[in-house]
Structure 1
Amino acid sequence: MIRCLAVDDEAYASEIISNYIKKTPFLELVGTTTNAFEALNLVQQGAVDLVFLDIQMPELTGIQFLKICGGKCKVILTTAYTEYALEGFDLDVVDYLLKPISYERFYKAASKAQQLLLGGVQHASVLPESEEIIANVPMPNDFMFIKGDTKNKFIKVNYNEILYIEGLKNYVSIYTATQRIITYQTLREFEEQLPQPPFYRIHRSYIVSTEHIKMIDGNSVFIGEQSLPIGETYRDDFFRLIKEGRL
């Protein structure tokens, strides 16, 4: 078993990686932390074989972490940004995962780490390059549980029911055809969890399901009778993906 640590300054993102580790037969979750110094201490103690590491963290960045730990463990970087990829590979990371991370992509990265750490030895419990094994690995659910307005209340929502999501500081509103759910969470956290496609962020305040887009007119997306703006920051990528047929 490969002893793993999930490190991300956002607890929600760390939880996603933790769940992926738990469902992978050859990985063992040692712990999760939002504190890079705590993670570094565990690595220096020899308690960890593989770290899933966010790059942009306060106090100690993922790149600084890599330089300090000095190869005492293998590292897979997890980030929403592409600009650190070259520097990460120069520091001998196993892989570079862009958020939101699917389980299939996670599994491929973990398999690379398994081959590096175990010398390519195949165990009876899992053959990392086997199509049969990969096919039988459980994939992410097609639904999510959203925190309700009282303690221990969670509302199940199928992804295909979500029309769009609106963010306002630390709250979001999830709109379906029949209801609006308000929950204490950030839009970025939703962006990291939702599968792409069909979900895509078109504005700092909106994520839409491309399955429910009725029309795009100029800088507006129409879902039913609702018109949502396309933000300048997201516009070029959005229209490029449309032209390439990737949305």
Structure 2
Amino acid sequence: MRILLIENDPEWAAALATMIESLGYQLMGTAHSLSLAEEMLKKQPPDLIIGDVLMNNSSVVEFLQRIPTVHCPVIFATTCTDLVQYELAGQRNDTRYLIKPFHALTLRSAIDSVLRKPAPPEVRKGVAVRGPNNQRVMVAFNTIHYIRVERNYCFLLAQNKKYALKISLAKLLQQLDGRFVQIHKGFCINGDYITRTDLSGNQLFINEEALPIGYNYRKKVVDFLAGKPD
């Protein structure tokens, strides 16, 4: 990994260079001015930038924002405790702010943090409920025909089985995928199980069971049906 250092304090430039090399990273160069930093960035993009927040009263944060080729993470190592500069630096997602002095392991932790790839979001395949023996049971989405609300509970009707879950429908909807649509304040259906529609009568049928379409949900249902493949 190639690191560019932007630092005009000779002592700290040397100290950071030693830390970087001791941690096993490659120091591609040290820029003691923003003009030199710009030249170096044009020649070769680094994998990481470690720099002060202010150099000769100029904001390094704003300088980096003006360079279109800067797409790498940035660690600001500084004695500056100005809240404006801190918040400006924090506008980037891949930035850390370290107050000098600090240990090499603190720098290592910051580097690991900005380089760590976020875990991919968990793809839900079902709804977790409690079974008859209080064990955790995963009810697969493709087995749920519809959901009915009764007071503080949602009942999952799934292939001749019924599961109770103490949760609001609004929160449960956040766990479901695109095959589900709420059709009434008390009902949510799995579109894969619709056997017949009667929009004039404000009803949907799952097998032979008629479920009501609420007035406030009619447009959502129509749009949902229009987007479903035949």
Give the TM-score band, short-chain normalised. 0.3 to 0.5
Structure with more contact order per residue of length (Cα contacts < 8 Å, sep ≥ 6): 1
| CA radius of gyration, larger in | 2
TM-score normalized by structure 1? Answer: 0.44
